[in-house]
Amino acid sequence: MPKLLNLIKNPGVQIGMLVVFLVVVSAGIWGLYQTQVPPPQPIQFPHKIHVGLEIPCLYCHPGALRQASAGLPTEQKCWACHGQLKKYFQPPLPVAQWPPELQKLATYVQTNKPIDWVPVYQVPDFVHFNHRPHIAAGLNCENCHGDMSKKTVATIEQTVNMGWCINCHKAKTETDPVKRAKLLDCGTCHY
């Protein structure tokens, strides 16, 4: 113990410790920053406008009801509306005069190239997440993804880690020990 105290009194060691401390803190802050910043998307898709038009989430993410993954829309789904909006077609407005993000959409449609949306929410491969039981249990999209009616592209609202899953599974099964045992069982999420 005294040896360690003497060592800590050594100015060189103190500076070393300070440097390590600063590196750890800034790495932590950078990590946090990274999780809050949405990844760049091929098109700045405005959720705000579309949710405001009362287009249901499930119109663009239909898998959330019945499948594991919610799915992301193809340009054909976008074009079902955007290929006939009066604002751009009656009378026809040259694509060059459309808003930039819609020009990009038109290019994807013309070239028939899929839009490579960048995933925002993701669990690692060794975890099985399925939307279906969650929606069936009455949860809303907002419970896990926040209020999309205020966003353009999706941002991450939740650090998707095991603690987050487990905490909610505990909270939802306070009065049901059998269900709790099932929802906390490692094999439910890892198999």
Q: Could you say whether residue 106 binds ligand HEC (CB under 6 A)?
A: no
Q: Could you say whether residue 105 binds ligand HEC (CB under 6 A)?
A: yes
The residue within the footprint of ligand HEC, chosen from 83, 109, 141, 180 (CB under 6 A), is 141
Distance in angstroms between the alpha carbons of the first and the last residue of the chain: 47
**Of the listed pieces 16-24, 25-33, 89-97, 129-137, which binds ligand HEC according to CB under 6 A?**
129-137
Q: Is 13 helix (H, G, I), strand (E, B) or coil?
A: helix
Q: Could you say whether residue 99 binds ligand HEC (CB under 6 A)?
A: yes
Tell me the C-alpha distance between 67 and 2, whole Å.
Answer: 62
The residue within the footprint of ligand HEC, chosen from 121, 150, 170, 181 (CB under 6 A), is 121
Q: Within the chain, what is the greatest distance between any pair of CA atoms?
A: 86
Tell me the C-alpha distance between 57 and 64, whole Å.
Answer: 9
- Window 154-173: residues binding ligand HEC (CB under 6 A): 154, 160-162, 164-166, 168-169, 172
Q: Is 92 helix (H, G, I), strand (E, B) or coil?
A: strand
**Of the listed pieces 13-21, 29-37, 77-85, 89-97, which binds ligand HEC according to CB under 6 A?**
77-85
Nearer to ligand HEC, 14 or 36 (CB): 36
Exposure string for 24-52, b = 16+ CB within 10 A, e = fewer: eeeeeeeeeeeeeeeeebebebebeebbe
- Window 20-39: residues binding ligand HEC (CB under 6 A): none
Site for ligand HEC (CB under 6 A): how many residues?
A: 72
Tell me the C-alpha distance between 178 and 25, whole Å.
Answer: 42
Nearer to ligand HEC, 16 or 28 (CB): 28
